[in-house]
Amino acid sequence: MEFSQAIRKIYEDEFLSVLDKPPGLVVDRAETTRGETLMDWLRSYYEEKEYHSKDIPERMGVVHRLDKDTSGILLVAKTQKAFENLQTQFQERLVQKEYLALVHGHVIESGRVEGSIGRNPGNREKFTVLESGKEAVTEYEPIERFKVQSASLKVWFSDFNNIQLRKLERQNYGEFTLLRCKPKTGRTHQIRVHLKYINHAIVSDEKYAGRKVFRLDKRWCPRIFLHAAKIRFRHPVTGEWMELESPLPEDLKKALDRLKVVVESKKYG
């Protein structure tokens, strides 16, 4: 896949770009990363625009990150001054972000998770809620909840025998909720960790949903159902408040549409 062809610009001026990051694209370069990254794409952009090396902002202008398989809005500064201004806004928690996440289980009420996050001592590739971690706060609000009926589970898992299907039903596998999540801090894997912490792991989250659940999810949802849908911040030069949105991408829309076809759903007001 040519990521350079898949990166859509939601907004652009001479000071910043607001990009719509596709899933599967790594933001940062690293020794373990092979293939094109967003930073590689940005370097090509600056070369094409004939930027002098001293005019290229720090970190190629990337102000914040999204995980590889998370899609959605990403801010990129085009000058060092804009980069520093946007970084300060993040540090002072002026930037407001909103994500859409489909999770396991029924979430009935809006809530707030306050749990410090740090690396998991048992697996350094994962993060977890730790007393010694960094402060992290996530607010969430249910949008719609779904219940997959027994007949539909049989269609989804046609290779399962009756014992396996009954086990799925006992585990309430067919219950899901679409959430609107608002992280108040910016820790690595924050939304994923916090939702797992309250026993509502994100659908198709390989790291945090559990190996068996992840395999079930992948049958109907191709990747983690987490999308950076909206962002609000002050323009780094004019100071004007900006609010930009990214629509749910096709792969997640298809998964959600498939879910709606085979379930009873209830929308929240």
Catalytic residue numbers read 67
Check: CB of residue 208 under 8 Å from CB of residue 196. Answer: yes
Q: DSSP 3-state assignment of 14?
A: coil
How big is the CA angle at 225 (ends 116 and 101), to the nearest 5 degrees? 55
Say how far apart CA 128 and CA 130 lie, in whole Å.
Answer: 6
Distance of CA 66 to the CA centre of its chain: 7
Q: Find the distance separating the first CA and the last CA of the chain, reported in whole Å.
A: 40
Residue 174 structure tokens: 């067919």
The beta-strand segments (E) located in the chain are: 8-12, 16-21, 71-77, 96-104, 111-114, 117-120, 123-129, 137-148, 175-183, 226-234, 241-245, 263-267
Name which of 79, 75, 83 is nearest 9 in CA terms: 75
Say how far apart CA 245 and CA 84 lie, in whole Å.
Answer: 23
Residues forming a β-bridge with 16? 77
